[in-house]
């Protein structure tokens, strides 16, 4: 995220070397990043923390239980602990509210990012098993919604995944489907939607957009059609880790 002169990453699921390269591709520098906000401890969201903390002296914002889980593997790092539902400010321009979400992690969170004036800018919702009224109310009318669109029901049910894995994905602590995302868009009415965390086996950009747009078009009286961007499965970590918003 970039607001004015401040720059922050959400999660660090790839190496610092890859983050630096990806930032360079969009004319940004890792040395200019002010800090990192962490959603949960899974390795595809945290693998770059050790190098970023030791080599670049970055600060991290995350729940204590998440910090404890990560630090057992990589050691201590500069962290500021956050609480569910309690606003915290980073820098001069950003206010962030962590939301509790269901996922098979120790203390996973989604983030609503607002300006210091209270205007909702970005809703960031990845690795979530199901949606609730707290998320819907909190994320309503954000300018940009970054959300996982992990699977298509049809592709998942037809896949060769073992039944236990299908049950995990479909479960209350699993992931969101294209259908879930469409319903969330109808309720929250974002201007721009960034679809991320697509499964390489159970979804693809064309299917995700087609299934979501089909539902949105059937409900066009309830919500305007947002501008939809898709992060391809093989690039999801690199792109989401350097997703920028400019004033």
Quick: pLDDT tens for 58-94: 999 999 999 999 999 999 999 999 999 999 998 888 8
Instruction: Kindly indicate the confidence band of residue 151, based on its pLDDT and cuts at 50, 70 and 90.
Output: very high
**What is the model's pLDDT at position 246?**
40
Residue 1's pLDDT band, with cuts at 50, 70 and 90, is confident
Pairwise CA distance, residues 247 & 8, whole Å: 14
> CA 60, 62, 68 angle in degrees (round to 5)?
100
Strand ranges in 44-134 using DSSP code E only, listed in sequence order: 59-62, 79-81, 88-90, 94-100, 109-115, 120-125
Residue-wise pLDDT for 41-55, tens only, equals: 999 999 999 999 999
DSSP H or E segment with residue 240:
helix 236-240
Domain boundaries, the chain: 2-240
More confident call, 37 vs 223:
37
Q: What is the average pLDDT value for the chain, to the nearest integer?
A: 90
Asked if residue 245 has pLDDT above 60, the reply is no
Going by DSSP bridges, is the β-strand pair 79-81/59-62 parallel, antiparallel, or unpaired? parallel
CA atoms of 121 and 131, how far apart (whole Å) = 20
pTM: 0.91
Beta bridge partners of 96: 88, 113
Beta bridge mates, 99: 110
Q: Which of 85, 81, 127 is nearest to 105 (CA)?
A: 127
Q: Cβ(192)–Cβ(179) under 8 Å?
A: no
CATH class of 2-240: alpha beta
Instruction: Report the pLDDT value the prediction gives residue 115, as an integer from 0 to 100.
Output: 85
The structure tokens 């990012």 sit at 113
pLDDT at 242 over 60: no
Percent of the chain with pLDDT over 90: 77
DSSP string, 117-130: T--EEEEEE-S-S-
**Whether the predicted pLDDT of 241 surpasses 70:** no
């Amino acid at each position: 995220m970039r607001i004015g002169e401040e720059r922050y990453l959400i999660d660090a699921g790839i190496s610092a070397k890859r983050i630096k390269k990806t930032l360079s591709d969009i004319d940004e520098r890792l040395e200019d990043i002010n800090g990192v906000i962490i959603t949960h401890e899974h390795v595809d969201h945290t693998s770059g923390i050790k190098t970023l903390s030791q080599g670049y002296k970055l600060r991290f914002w995350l729940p204590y239980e998440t910090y404890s889980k990560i630090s057992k593997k990589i050691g201590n790092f500069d962290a500021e602990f956050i609480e569910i539902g309690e606003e915290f400010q980073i820098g001069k321009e950003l206010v962030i509210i962590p939301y509790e979400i269901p996922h098979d992690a120790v203390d996973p969170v989604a983030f609503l990012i607002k300006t210091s004036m209270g205007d909702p800018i970005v809703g960031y919702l990845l690795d979530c098993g199901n949606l609730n009224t707290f998320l819907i109310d909190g994320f309503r009318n954000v300018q940009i919604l970054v959300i996982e669109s992990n699977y298509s029901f049809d592709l998942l049910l037809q896949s060769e995944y073992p039944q236990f894995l299908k049950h995990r994905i479909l479960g209350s602590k699993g992931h969101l489907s294209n259908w879930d995302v469409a319903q969330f868009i109808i309720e929250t009415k974002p201007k721009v939607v960034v679809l991320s965390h697509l499964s390489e086996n159970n979804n693809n950009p064309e299917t995700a957009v087609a299934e979501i747009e089909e539902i949105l078009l059937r409900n066009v009286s309830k919500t305007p059609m947002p501008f939809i961007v898709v992060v391809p499965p093989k690039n999801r970590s690199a792109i989401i880790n350097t997703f920028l918003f400019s004033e």
